[in-house]
Amino acid sequence: MEFGPYLFIASLEGAITAAVLALTAVGLSIVFGIMRVVNVAHGEFYMLGAVFAWWITNLIGGHPAVGFVAAVIITPVLVGVLAVIADHLILRKIDYDPERTIVATIGLLYVIQQTTLMTFGPEARPVEAPFNKRIALPWIEYGEQGLALIWPWGLSTTTYKLAVIVAAIFILLMLWLLMTRTRIGLIMRATQLDREMATAHGIPVNKVYALVFGLGAGLAALGAVLIVPIQQAHYLMGADPLLLSFIVVIIGGLGSVVGTIVAALFIGLSDGIISVFFTPTLAKIIATLAVAFVLVFRPQGMFGKPE
Amino acid sequence: MLEVRSIDVAYDKVQVLFNLSLRVERGSILCLVGRNGAGKTTTLKSIMGLIPVRQGSITFDQTVLTTLPPHEIPGSGIAYVPQGRRLFAELSVKQNMDIGLMASGAGQDTYSSVLEMFPKLQERLNQRAETLSGGEQQMLAMARALCMKPEVILLDEPTEGLQPSMIELIRTVILQLKSQNVAIVLVEQHVDTVIAMADSVAFIVHGRNPETISGNELRDNPDRVERYLGVE
């Protein structure tokens, strides 16, 4: 395959990474933005999403689409409820203190990871995609008779991969509508801007925090459900999304949802392209270097506001 | 009637209020007067439940506020306009007012009547609060509180840093609230405002309330305010 089509396919792979990363990182971003909690266990909620998706699809059986739809609906709710319980039992008890919550969520990370290992075992678990038709992709080439549409051999993707991108865009759009057009979104934003004044205006801040922590975890779980037919579920799979999510949230600007989405696109696409042309390790090195540059030259991130 | 009975309040190990008592009736204005750091803002925050009370109690009519979780206190009819406005800066004027409306469950009529008091806000409904002028921000802080349909309103230096015309508007609104039988607790450094508006004045010195006098007593002897404020 020539360079152009090769770059196109790499970009498409990157777009899938970006789509799932955007969901996961936005979850981390709203938790930090509203609660000021650095949730080190965020990757484990992602992992739980993938493992639960495997468990639910296996439990239901039958046509893969039935189990998958059930997993898309049940898994984020289940993981969200677990996060709300963790918020109630741990974070609320330490009054959401920024330093102590870091240590507490590190502990939560290991509790979730080891409980998953003991319950579901160490094996990687596949989930069948609900549909997975391979489709050839066209490429435009300049030939003797001008521009022409060609179908290079090997330039293809699957309908499921395209559906992941569309689904992620749809979910992010719904989240944007929730935050900007609904009463609960207004309450969350007011809490983010001034916790004390929110309380003085009758907003039950602790309940908002529980909801936000559950929503953040649910988004990570939803991202994992979407990606698990491509990647498989495993109890150690939470580390990479956590690292990438932190990278994205720092580059985008702590607490900025728009910044997080833009940074997820940048990191996801570069990760996909560099992984295809070079190695995934180099992609991670470059992403980490990007964070270092941002921290040195624009510590508040691309879309963040200076403190 | 709002009554603060012998409260002790502390930030961690540093006690700020000592055995402090106050009371304010509906349709009257209680001014809190004292130097910076005397404990006036802490008193208001304690009433709102934003700082826990270690000893003593705060009641409004039959409700013991000190037993309520802080977010339920506004629902019992108490609104707070903090020093420095503390608006939800990135939200619009309308959204700031909506937050107030949500607290009271009040409807469109409350919203309209508040905008009648501050017609300038009507022109700025979709503007972000942080882009308003200082005077407009103060109007919005009061409008947000009034959307809660308060029976008691706590005002922390509402005229601070404002031009005379704006101070006059704020005074007019306060008197309008008084005429609507709202109880008002006003922290104020402008001596003229205190003398002109107070029905009673509680002096606060180092977290204690050595005396509370009536507005008439104050008007007969205005030097007392200046003494407690340290103004020569």
Residues B94, B58, single domain; the answer is: no
As a whole number, mean pLDDT of residues A263-281 equals 91
Residue B116's pLDDT is: 94
Residue A245's pLDDT is: 95
List, in sequence order, every residue forming a beta bridge with B33; answer none if it has no partner: B203
- For residue B221, tell me if it sits in a domain: yes
- For residue B82, tell me if it sits in a domain: no
Residues B187, B208, single domain; the answer is: yes
H runs (alpha helix) in chain B: 40-47, 93-104, 108-117, 119-122, 134-146, 164-179, 191-197, 215-220, 223-229
Residues B63, B154, single domain; the answer is: yes
Residues B56, B97, single domain; the answer is: no
pLDDT above 80 for A306: no
What distance in Å separates the CA atoms of residue A137 and residue A10, rounded to the nearest whole number? Answer: 13
Residues B142, B157, single domain; the answer is: no
As a whole number, mean pLDDT of residues A270-291 equals 90
pLDDT above 60 for A307: yes
Number of independent structural domains in chain B: 2
Residue A49's pLDDT is: 98
Domains and CATH numbers, chain A: 3-297 (1.10.3470)
Over residues B3-24, the pLDDT tens digits come to 999 999 999 889 999 999 999 9
Q: Count of A–B CB contacts within 8 Å?
A: 60
- For residue B47, tell me if it sits in a domain: yes
Look at residues B97, B120, B148 and tell me which one is the last residue of a structural domain.
Answer: B148
Range of the domain at B135: 87-148
Q: What is the DSSP letter of A88?
A: I
Residues B73, B29, single domain; the answer is: yes
Residues B141, B160, single domain; the answer is: no
* Minimum distance, in Å, between the CA of residue A114 and any CA atom of chain B: 37
Residues B41, B72, single domain; the answer is: yes
As a whole number, mean pLDDT of residues B220-228 equals 78
pLDDT above 60 for B189: yes
**What is the b/e burial string over B10-44, where b = at least 16 CB atoms within 10 angstroms of the residue's CB?**
beeeeebbbebebbbeeebbbbbbbeeebbbbbbb
| Residue of B48, B88, B148 with shortest CB distance to A190 | B88
Q: Which chain A residues are within 8 Å of B148, Cβ to Cβ? A: 201-202
Residues B141, B169, single domain; the answer is: no
What distance in Å separates the CA atoms of residue A229 and residue A130, rounded to the nearest whole number? Answer: 9
Residues B181, B217, single domain; the answer is: yes
Residues B61, B155, single domain; the answer is: yes
**Cβ separation of B82 and A189 shorter than 8 Å?**
no
**Cβ separation of B72 and A203 shorter than 8 Å?**
no
pLDDT above 80 for A90: yes
Over residues A144-201, the pLDDT tens digits come to 778 888 887 778 899 999 999 999 999 999 999 999 999 999 999 999 999 999 999 9
| Chain B CA closest to residue A195 | B88
Residues A221 and A20: beta-carbon distance below 8 Å:
no
**Cβ separation of A196 and B72 shorter than 8 Å?**
no
Residues B168, B141, single domain; the answer is: no
CATH number of the CATH domain containing B189: 3.40.50.300
Look at residues B95, B123, B148 and tell me which one is the last residue of a structural domain.
Answer: B148
Over residues A24-72, the pLDDT tens digits come to 999 999 999 999 999 999 999 999 999 999 999 999 988 999 999 999 9
Instruction: Look over chain A and give the mean of its residue pLDDT values, rounded to a whole number.
Output: 93
Over residues B63-104, the pLDDT tens digits come to 999 999 999 999 999 999 999 999 999 999 999 999 999 988
Read off the pLDDT band of B224 (50, 70, 90): confident
Read off the pLDDT band of B231 (50, 70, 90): low
Look at residues B148, B179, B194 and tell me which one is the last residue of a structural domain.
Answer: B148
Using DSSP, state whether A256 is helix, strand or coil: coil
Residue A1's pLDDT is: 62
